[in-house]
Amino acid sequence: MPPSNYQKHQAGRHLAVAEALLHGYSASLHGPQTFVTINGRKAAVQAAAQGTWMIADIDRMTAMSVDVYVLVDVTEGRRDFYVVPGDDLRAGVRERHDEFMASVGGVRPRNPESRHTAIYPKDVESWRDRWSLFDDATQHVVGEAHS
C-alpha cells in the first residue's frame, strides 16, 4: 500500500529531525503537523514526494513569518534536505510566480482562480544541506538563557 500525502509529510518531518540529530543539533517534532524545533529554533518542514514542493496559495505562503524552512525531497527514494531562510524562500517563490504570471499575460491559462505554485529543487539548490543556519540559534538561545 503506498503512503498517503499525510504520511509522506510526516515522514519528511521525522527525517528532518533525524538529519538534524545526525548533524549534532538538538531536534524534535513541534506540534502535530508542520513544525520541528532544531537547536531551539522553530522551522517549518515541507516534503516533496514527486519532484516539487507544492504551494497551494502563493499569497498565504508569502505572507507567513516562518524564520526557517527545511525542504525534504523524498522523490523516488531520495533523501535530500534544503535548509532555507524564510525570507529568501518567500522572495524567490514570489519572484518566480510573478515571472510566470507575466509570461501568461497575468491570467493562469487553465484555472484563472488558482493561487498554486511550486518550488523545484533547482530553485533551492544553493541551500542544500545548509544545516549551519541553525548554528546561530544555539548561541541565541544560550544567550537568552543567561540573560
Average pLDDT over residues 21-41: 95
Residues 60/26, Cβ–Cβ less than 8 Å: no
pLDDT digits (tens, 9 = 90+) for 41-84: 999 999 998 999 999 898 998 898 999 999 999 998 889 999 99
Residue with cell 502563493: 58
Would you list the domain boundaries of the chain?
A: 5-130
Average pLDDT over residues 7-32: 96
Q: What is the pLDDT of residue 5?
A: 87
Beta bridge partners of 43: 36
For the domain covering 5-130, report its CATH number: 3.40.210
pTM of the model: 0.85
Residue with cell 531520495: 78
Residue with cell 516534503: 47
- Residue 85 pLDDT grade (very low, low, confident, very high; cuts 50, 70, 90): very high
Q: What is the pLDDT of residue 146?
A: 33
CA dist 55 and 47 (Å) reads 11
Q: Is the dihedral of CA 66, 10, 59, 102 positive or negative?
A: positive
C-alpha cell at 73: 525531497
